[in-house]
Each structure stands twice: as structure tokens, then as C-alpha cells.
Amino acid sequence: MLAPQGLKCYFNAERAFRAPALRIPIPFSPARTREESPVSESENESGDAVAKKVRKPRLSKTAKPAADAPAEVVVHVDPEPAAPQRAERAEAAERTPAPNAQGEAPAGQDGEGQPQGGQEQRPRHGHQHNNRRDRFQHRNERNRDRFQHRNDRQGGDEGEGEPRQAYQPPQLPPDFPNYSLTELKRMPMHKLLEMAEQLNLHEGVARMRRQDVTFQLLKVLTRHPAGVAAEGVLEILPDGYGFLRSADASYLAGPDDVYISPSQIRRFNLRTGDHITGRIRNPKDGERYVALNVLDTINGEPLEHSKNKVLFENLTPLFPRRRFVLERGNGSTEDITGRIMDLMAPQGKGQRALIVSPPKAGKTMMMQNIAQAIINNHPEVHLIVLLIDERPEEVTEMQRTVRGEVISSTFDEPAARHVQVAEMVIERAKRLVEHKKDVVIMLDSITRLARAYNMVVPSSGKVLSGGVDANALHRPKRFFGAARNVEEGGSLTIIATALIDTGSKMDEVIYEEFKGTGNSEVHLDRRIAEKRVFPAININRSGTRREDLLIDPDMLQKIWILRKLIHPMDEIAAMEFMLDKMKTTKSNDEFFSAMKRG
């Protein structure tokens, strides 16, 4: 055992043996270089680590350590001058110019303080810069400044310091005459321009379409105390509202059409095809059409008389019993067509007749003669001539020769336009029949109408020969099948033409589909037309079903004897025989009297 003094000496010796090397206090100098540093190169840290050490806060030189012990030798390696201090970065960011319009950083800099390309700028100090609210606020400020600048420029043209005058709409003179909408639509274009000049409508009126000029005039004329009278045929659109179309424009939509609200349609139980008269009001701000304010009549009758009308589909169809007399008795060449049809293919009210004709056989002239005969002998009949896919010059000729309603859609119109016109005409005719009117539609031609329906209807996947869709002929058949004599009063007669021998398989298929649907057929022969014998009617193939209901027995017996006489003859010889006998007489009664004597 060692004495206590011995143990004390032992521990002191062991402590001295384990003690670290003596550290010599050396005064700190920050200007030491790398060569003076005792740190080996292997112990050098990377640039990022050194930068982290540099960023740590240091005590100032005047600060004294808490203890009086000498400062330890701590070697600080100065980093390379790559990363500036925070204060220096802030100053550099202030001196850095803003990026250009393309969002690129200035040349020679990294652009650390600005978003790079598609890089987003991160929020600082808890505030989100360039958020959605700020963007909309800045956008509104830009728009306000831009419009203010535009107004300043416009005001500068008028004169600085002068307030801009508000727009004053043209006023109607007190003694200005009152015009109806129908009169405006039928007025020549130069008259409309003169009226616009009287009403101080100068801005771009001369270069507008006719319908646009009429609409501009209506904006001023509707301020008249008596209002502006309007009329037209109603077309209800799928959205529930409708417009009044004009028959003079062939029911073509235009800016001068009168708007009918859905509430008015439900209140008065209006349908497509109703002829409406009333008064229109001044269009409000933002309205593109004039609206009907007061409704006066529906199909020529007061409002209370047209509420409880039986629908056309619920009427009872019958065979025609009242005859159309096509003979005018003047002995003219045009009268021969009507006289031959009265004998060989008589037409009645409610007839569904088909005129089968090859090209250039005189079907258009025949239609004109029939229309003129109906107008002269039956003025109570409402005649509508519907021309589908025809030439414009034929439309003009028909309008000038026939005193009736001529609706057309020429060959340069799309198929949808052909369909729209046909639907409007047939709906108009149905509404008239519901009011116990006799209506005649002369369609030229039903073959072109079927072609238009074939292009419009959606494809069903079933195609007949000639490229006709299986569902394409349903709507043309419904159009042609609407012709009927109604037991409750009124009738709808349709006389349509069908084309054959055109070289098209589709036309042959269409004719075969309509061949058995009519109750009267008139065939025109190409051989007779090539010999320039008109009308080129094939008498042996033409006829009417149940003609005994239209002709009295005595006249019917004479017609049968005439047919027996003509039947052995050739088509050309039979037609020449009829023309020779009829040119010497003025009526069919004289014709049979001459045959009885001879």
C-alpha cells in the first residue's frame, strides 16, 4: 500500500503523461495567407463548407473573451472571392437592371434576384407576390389606363378642353308619313336610301344590304305614334321563339324579320305557317330585331276565332269531288293545254297529281298555263308556286306571268335552304286548310326536293340503288301526301313534276317511289317534244283515278269514245289529231259537237 502522499504523486505523473501538447498562445491575425496556414492540403474543406463558415457571425476585434485565458490558435482559411456577402448582393440587386420583355436575365449575370425563364419567383417575408388577385388588379388598371388614353386621343381630335357630345339618335319629323313593314320591303332600293337621307341616316347605309337598311329605318319609324304595321308567316325555331318571314323574300331569314316571344306563341296557340298581322315596337338597346307588340289577326281572322281550330292531321281525307275547270274559252294556243287536261286528266280540289316529264319536254310552260287557268277561273283559290333547284330566269318569268304567291330556292342555294322553303310552304298550306280554304301548290320539281332531303337527313346506313338513303324519301312523301280533300271543309291540291330519262339512277328510284302515291298522272313524251308539238302529252298514258266523281255522265261517255278512237294511233299522231281539231274550236263542247257532225 502506498501512502497517501505516494498516491498523490502517482496521479500527478499519470495526468502529466496523458495531457495534450502545449498550446502556445499566438495573437490572432485575419490577414494570414494559405501558405502560412499550418493546415495540410488534405484537410482543406470544399468551397461550400468554407462559405458556410464565412457566413457565421464573428466577434468584433474590440470584443474581449469572457475568460482571461489566452486565445487559442485557430487557423481560418480565407475562401476564394466567389460568393459576395448579403449586403453586397442586395446592393448588386438594386443596381441590376430589370429583365427584358422576353423574361431573359441581363447578359453577364446570373439573375439570381429575378425569375429565370419559366422559373417562378418565390414569396418572401410571408407575402405572395404576383398572385391571382394582384394579376387581375393590375390587368384592370392597365385596361383603365388604355381606355383612358384612347378617350384622350379621341377627345384631342375634337379639340382640347371641349367636352364630348353624347350620341343623339335620329328623330322622326312630325309630318313624316307612316309606312308599314310590307311597304318597306316592297319599296325599291333607291327609295329606301332617299328615306334614310331624310331621316339623317348617313353612316354606312349606302353600303348595307336591303334587309339591314330596312332594319335601320325601322329603328326610327317605330317612334311614330301610330306605330308600324307588320305582317308575315310565322316560323317557330327549336328554341321556342319565332320570327315573321316574308313571302316576297321566299321565307328567307333576314335582320328585318319581326321577333315573336315564346309567351305570345303559347298564349295565342300559334304554329308554324300562321299568317300574323300586328304592330311592332321600337327595339331596345342591344336588341338585333324588332319585336311584335300588338297582335291583330291570325290567318285573316280575329284572335278569338282561331283558338279552337282542328289540326290538319285530324281532318278526314276524301276523294276529290269538286272539279278545277282549266278551260278559259278564248281559243288561244295557251288554252289548248287546259282543254286537253280537262278531257284526259281532269283535276279536282284535293288532287295529288304528278307530271312525269323528261328534260326539255315543256313542263315549265305547262305549269305556267295551268297556274294561269286556275287563277282566272277560280280566284278564291290560294295558289302557291314552289320552285326548287330551278334557274333564276325561270323564277323571274314565273313571278311576272303568274298572279300568285311564287316561292323559290334556286340551284345555287344549299340543300338545307331547299328543305326550309318546302317545310314553310307546306305548313303555310296546312294552316289555310284548317281555316277551310282551298289551296293549290304547284311544285317544280319533287325530284330535286327529294335530292335535297337525301343530302340533309342523317345517314341511316341503309342505301338504296342510286345512292338514295332509306330514310331520305320519308319527308318528301309526307309533303306530297298532304294533298287531300277534307270532309270538314277546305282542300289541299299538289301538282308536282317528276323527272325521268335524265341518265341518273337516283331520279329513276325517286320516280318509282312516287309513281303509285298520286291519284292523277300526266306523262310528257320526248318524241313529241322533239317534233316541236306542244303540249307533248302522251294521251294514252295520262289519266285520273275516279274521274267519274269529277265529270258528269254525259261528258264522261264522250271522253271514253274519244279515247277508244285515239288508242290505236301513235303518240305523235294522236296528239296532232287533237291539236288540229281543237284549233278550229274555242271550247270542248264545240269540239264534241264538231266530232258528232263530222
- Residues 414 and 243: beta-carbon distance below 8 Å: no
Q: Is the pLDDT of residue 501 over 80?
A: yes
Q: Is the pLDDT of residue 503 over 80?
A: yes
Where does residue 42 rank: exposed (0-12), middle (13-18), buried (19+ CB within 10 A)?
exposed
Find the range with the poorest average confidence among 4-8, 420-424, 591-595: 4-8
- Residues 575 and 539: beta-carbon distance below 8 Å: yes
The position carrying cell 275547270 is 325
Confidence of residue 162 (pLDDT cuts 50, 70, 90): low
To the question of whether residue 53 is assigned a binding role by annotation, the answer is: no
Output the nine-digit C-alpha cell for 573: 299522231
pLDDT the model gives residue 285: 76
Q: How much of the chain, in percent, has pLDDT values that exceed 90? A: 44
pLDDT the model gives residue 185: 86
Q: Is the pLDDT of residue 157 over 70?
A: no
Q: How far is CA 482 from CA 195, 317, 492, 517, in A?
A: 44, 10, 7, 11
Taking each continuous run of H as one helix and of E as one strand, the counts in the chain are 19, 17
pLDDT the model gives residue 57: 53
Between residues 575 and 99, the one the model is more confident about:
575
Mean pLDDT, the chain, integer: 78
Find the range with the poorest average confidence among 130-134, 227-231, 342-346, 521-525: 130-134
Q: From CA 147, how far away is CA 156, in angstroms rounded?
A: 14
Confidence of residue 199 (pLDDT cuts 50, 70, 90): confident
Torsion angle of the four alpha carbons 277, 281, 286, 288, in this order, in degrees rounded to the nearest 10:
30
To the question of whether residue 165 is assigned a binding role by annotation, the answer is: no
Confidence of residue 15 (pLDDT cuts 50, 70, 90): low
pLDDT the model gives residue 207: 80
Q: Is the pLDDT of residue 100 over 80?
A: no
To the question of whether residue 350 is assigned a binding role by annotation, the answer is: yes
Q: How far is CA 162 from CA 156, 157, 159, 251, 303, in A?
A: 9, 10, 6, 50, 56
Q: From CA 461, how far away is CA 464, in angstroms rounded?
A: 10
With CA atoms as reference, report the closest residue to 342 among 564, 547, 577: 547
List, in sequence order, every residue forming a beta bridge with 522; answer none if it has no partner: 355
Reported as type and span, the H/E element at residue 17 is helix 4-18
pLDDT the model gives residue 124: 47
Q: How far is CA 484 from CA 2, 321, 422, 465, in A?
A: 147, 11, 18, 30
To the question of whether residue 362 is assigned a binding role by annotation, the answer is: yes
3-state secondary structure (DSSP) of residue 219: helix
Q: Is the pLDDT of residue 396 over 80?
A: yes
Instruction: Catalogue the E-assigned strands of 391-482.
Output: 405-410, 438-444
Q: Is the pLDDT of residue 28 over 80?
A: no
To the question of whether residue 431 is assigned a binding role by annotation, the answer is: no
pLDDT the model gives residue 194: 87
Q: Is the pLDDT of residue 65 over 90?
A: no
Between residues 286 and 74, the one the model is more confident about:
286
Q: What are phi and psi of 398, to 5 degrees?
A: -65, -40
pLDDT the model gives residue 344: 93
Q: Is the pLDDT of residue 109 over 50?
A: no
Q: Please state the pTM of the whole predicted model.
A: 0.69
| Beta carbons within 10 angstroms of residue 474's beta carbon | 12
pLDDT the model gives residue 452: 94
pLDDT the model gives residue 562: 93
To the question of whether residue 360 is assigned a binding role by annotation, the answer is: yes
| CA distance from start to end of the chain | 183
3-state secondary structure (DSSP) of residue 149: helix
pLDDT the model gives residue 130: 54
3-state secondary structure (DSSP) of residue 278: strand
- Residues 218 and 256: beta-carbon distance below 8 Å: yes
pLDDT the model gives residue 141: 64
Q: Is the pLDDT of residue 25 over 80?
A: no
- Tell me what the mean pLDDT of segment 272-281 comes to: 92
pLDDT the model gives residue 13: 52
To the question of whether residue 348 is assigned a binding role by annotation, the answer is: yes
- Tell me what the mean pLDDT of segment 236-249 comes to: 92
- Residues 362 and 536: beta-carbon distance below 8 Å: yes
Find the range with the poorest average confidence among 108-117, 204-213, 465-474: 108-117
To the question of whether residue 391 is assigned a binding role by annotation, the answer is: yes
pLDDT the model gives residue 41: 44
Find the range with the poorest average confidence among 220-234, 390-404, 468-482: 220-234
To the question of whether residue 103 is assigned a binding role by annotation, the answer is: no
Strand 347-348 versus strand 242-245 pairing type: unpaired
To the question of whether residue 364 is assigned a binding role by annotation, the answer is: yes
Between residues 124 and 58, the one the model is more confident about:
58
With CA atoms as reference, report the closest residue to 479 among 545, 367, 414, 386: 386
